[in-house]
Amino acid sequence: MKRDHARDEQAPPSRGFPAVETNRGSRRRNPSERRGVNREPGQKLYGGMDHPWINPQASAVAYCVYIPVKPSTMHWQYDAPTDHVTADVYVVCPDLNPCKAEQGANQVLSCLGDPTNIEILVDTASLDDGVDVGLALANASTDLYLLLPDSSRVHLHTGL
């Protein structure tokens, strides 16, 4: 069966690439980007060890986290003088989010399953420390913003 790669590379409406979907911790990369180290489904390299998504039943089905690109885009920026990343996150299939009735950032923060799961999203925003695109993000601080269905943004988390 022939695969339709053109369809695979299409961005979600009004979002654009690059993005990584975090489906309870697993990752699916944009096919046009360089492949990294394969990891087991449900795990993200975290703090030097595999960190599975804790309590996935209490989380949204998937999160889309924008990843390092050069040059920066409207959904992912790096400020080198301050060593700071700003990245957008959105809930894939928001109607299936158990916290869809929550407002703003609580649509994610109230449904992480475990408070430490936010670090998986923060780490994903600096995927592979940005090495794939010629950046060094190992020590960068990160601000995550939640993209809402109406395209507005709300502050989600600051990771140091």
Tokens standing for 87? 């990245």
Report pLDDT digits (tens) over 51-107: 788 888 889 888 999 999 999 999 999 999 999 999 999 998 888 889 989 989 999
Task: Please provide the DSSP assignment of 4-50 as one string.
Answer: -HHHHTPPPTTT-S--EEEETTEEE--TTSPP-----TTEEEETTEE
Band of pLDDT at residue 38, cut at 50, 70 and 90: very low
What are 84-96's pLDDT values in tens digits?
Answer: 999 999 998 888 8
Domain containing 20 equals 5-159
Structurally, how many domains does the chain consist of? Answer: 1
| pLDDT at residue 50, rounded to an integer | 58
What's the whole-model pTM score?
Answer: 0.72
